[in-house]
Amino acid sequence: MAIFESLGKYRNTGLLILRVGLGVMMMVHGLPKIMGGPDGWTQLGGSMKVIHIDFLPTFWGFMAAISEGLGGFLLILGLFFRPVNMLLFFTMVIAALVHFGKGDGVSGASHAIELAIVFLGLVFIGPGKYSIDKK
């Protein structure tokens, strides 16, 4: 359709919308985890057992919380864009594996899988023109 053909020139606007929307939602998920403190981080970091990492659960939980909370903010800004998306991708892979480990199946893990796919795709696409990184 002709009306949609002209939208291609707004790719950077589309990336901005995607970055802001995903960033806000990641902050909504991550900030309470950051505020959970060491006890919450230890519980969250225990998820690393799904890939047989059972040391330093507080560190891993803190990293997951920071990836979501601060990573969401950096995603909005388009700052450190590719490293942030790689961290978010890894966090979502672990989240999906935890769901599978609980027996939730694909339907239970689908949200984490979908986000992992988006974050991996954004690693390759880049932040767009309306970002601090401007790649």
pLDDT one-digit tens code per residue, 36-82: 999 999 999 999 999 999 999 999 999 999 999 999 999 999 999 99
* CA-to-CA separations, 50 to 32, 38, 82, 90, in angstroms, rounded: 23, 20, 25, 13
Taking 80 as the threshold, does the pLDDT of residue 24 lie above it?
Answer: yes
* Mean pLDDT, all residues of the chain: 94
pLDDT at 135: 57
Taking 70 as the threshold, does the pLDDT of residue 85 lie above it?
Answer: yes
pTM of the entire predicted model: 0.92
Beta carbons of 48 and 36 less than 8 angstroms apart: no
